[in-house]
Amino acid sequence: MITKKQKEVLDFLNKYSKEKGYAPSLDEIRSHFKLASVSTAHYYVDKLSKEGYLDKTANQPRSIDISSSKPMKSVAHKEAEYFSIPILGSASAGIAMMFAEANIFGYLRVAQRDLSRKEGVFALRVKGDSMNRAKIAGKNLEEGDYVLVDSEYNNPRSGDYVLSVIDGFANLKRFQKDKKGVRLMPESRNPKHKPIHISSHDDFMINGKIIKVIKK
């Protein structure tokens, strides 16, 4: 996910490289945007590189790798390779304390190779430590990570990792159902976390299945 300012820098890099045939220097980026220092320009380029928009070559005056045989990747090209998944806030992976408000706080870029579709999928930031032993596709749910939730999955099976809402509070837990009823199970290295037993008095619903963890 990139900010509006980073997008402006990326647009400038694309336009400049198309007109000149090579990338602008960090000082030219600093001058164009009237930045305080070259280090600020470097920050934007480094961020765009880490997000996959740019290639950089070390120890070069113009560190963005652009040549006649390898033109700079355009925004349109990169966007075609990524899904923008809405972030709907945070959810507790501990005691149910985070209110589940359906407000978009931003977008998370997820490679298409890692996600088959984006319809019905949204992201949440993990709060708490009650699921730090759980593994989804080999990745733990640790505080600060993002989880992708398939909201169209509303018929959970025992063992599924789900987003539930109990009395208006969002929870990330492992779903368990048997003759004794429904329980939301923690999987944590912290022994203080206990199963949540769902009764007929609870305002309870399943809002989707956790399908992927995006590390912070």
Tell me, yes or no, whether 64 and 93 share the same domain. Answer: no
User: Where residue 25 falls among pLDDT bands split at 50, 70, 90?
Assistant: confident
Q: Which of these three, 48, 74, 100, is where a domain ends?
A: 74
- More confident site: 151 or 53: 151
Q: Are residues 50 and 18 in the same domain?
A: yes
Residues 108 and 144 placed together within one structural domain of the fold: yes
Its pTM surpasses 0.85 = no
| pLDDT digit string, tens, across residues 92-133 | 877 666 555 556 788 888 888 888 888 889 899 999 999 999
Q: How many C-alpha atoms does 176 have within 13 Å on its Cβ side?
A: 12
Report CA dihedral (52, 57, 60, 63) to the nearest 10 degrees: -10
Q: Are residues 8 and 107 in the same domain?
A: no
Is 95 found in the same domain as 36?
A: no
Same-domain pairing of 171 and 115? yes
Which among 74, 96, 129 is the end of a domain?
Answer: 74
Give the Cβ contact number of residue 178 at 10 Å: 8
Q: How far is CA 161 from the centre of its chain?
A: 18
If asked whether residues 121 and 70 sit together in one domain, one would say no
**Of 17, 63, 130, 164, which is the active-site residue?**
130
Say which of 127, 173, 209, 212 is annotated catalytic.
173
Q: Is the pLDDT of residue 60 over 50?
A: no
What CATH number corresponds to the domain at position 207?
Answer: 2.10.109.10
Is 17 known to be catalytic? no
Instruction: Using the predicted structure, report yes or no on whether residue 140 has a pLDDT greater than 60.
Output: yes
Which residues constitute the domain of residue 68? 4-74
pLDDT of 34 strictly over 60:
yes
Is 69 in the same domain as 104?
Answer: no
User: Across the chain, what does the average pLDDT equal?
Assistant: 80
Domain co-membership, 59 together with 88: no
CATH number of residue 31's parent domain: 1.10.10.10
Which pLDDT does position 173 carry in this prediction? 94
For the question of residue 130 being annotated catalytic, the response is yes
- The domain total for the chain is 2
Whether residue 187 is predicted with pLDDT greater than 60 in this model: the reply is yes
Please check whether residues 89 and 175 belong to one and the same domain. yes
Of 74, 101, 127, the domain-final residue:
74
